[in-house]
Homo-oligomer: A and B are copies of this chain.
Amino acid sequence: MFVLSSPSGAGKSTICRNLLRDEPELEMSVSVTTRKRRGNEVDGTDYRFISEREFIGIQKADGLLESAEVHGNYYGTPREPVEQAMAEGRDMLFDIDYQGALQLFEKARTDVVSVFILPPSMEELRSRLERRAEDAPEVIDQRLQNSRKEIEHWGEYDFVVINNDLDKAFSEVSAILTAERLRRDRRPGLHDFVGTLLK
């Protein structure tokens, strides 16, 4: 499980998109949410957009690995696709906030590699949110307030990347994924390989 968190506007979504483009063996965990779809979002790709009634139904059936409420909307990670991917040895990418991440850490600390993406400054974060031009000024103010809360949890992640330059930040996140896949203890097949080598 490869977890990326960051305040909105810090570049996390673009980095996720690029990772999925370059890493065919990486699969996105698509969260469910009760919030409204934004203009450029695709249902089933960015999120599965569901009603509050549906959300509560899935949650009651223990069908969520983690869930959180942000800006008055519910978000959650469906359990089944993740458990299936893990069982088949595939890597899962999670674009979730600190509330969700902390729940995942508790449930599966050893299987989780977590990266927090920091903006270079709060001014830059505000101007990125303004350029996105999707939210009213008071919503941007609230997002920035929530960003501060999100940033306060940077210390609970394994890795930290500062997104000053998107290409550099992406290549750093990509290096973390590459490196963590090369950890000896994540490669049970190596025992057989070395056995054959020394035969």
A139 within 8 A of B: no
A43-51, A129-137, A149-157: which lies at the interface? A149-157
Interface contact A160-B175, CB-CB below 8 Å: no
Q: Is A100 an interface residue (CB 8 A)?
A: no
Q: A197-B151, A198-B151 are in contact. Are A158 and B184 (CB under 8 A)?
A: yes
Docked CA distance A187–B162 (Å): 12
B162 touching A172 by the CB < 8 A rule? no
What residues on B are CB-neighbors of A87 within 8 Å?
none
A118 B194 Cβ-Cβ under 8 A: yes
In the bound complex, do residue B198 and residue A152 qualify as a contact, i.e. CB atoms below 8 Å apart? yes
Q: Is the CB of B198 within 8 A of A184?
A: no
Bound-complex Cα distance A174 to B178 (A):
10
A122 touches B197 (CB 8 A): yes
Say which residue of B161, B175, B180, B193 sits within 8 Å of A162 (CB atoms). B193
Chain A residues in contact with chain B, CB under 8 A? 115-116, 118-119, 121-122, 148, 151-152, 154-155, 157-162, 171-172, 174-176, 178-180, 182-184, 187, 190, 193-194, 197-198
A121-B197, A154-B194 given; name 11 further pairs at CB < 8 Å: A115-B182, A116-B184, A118-B194, A122-B197, A154-B184, A154-B190, A157-B184, A172-B182, A175-B175, A175-B182, A176-B178
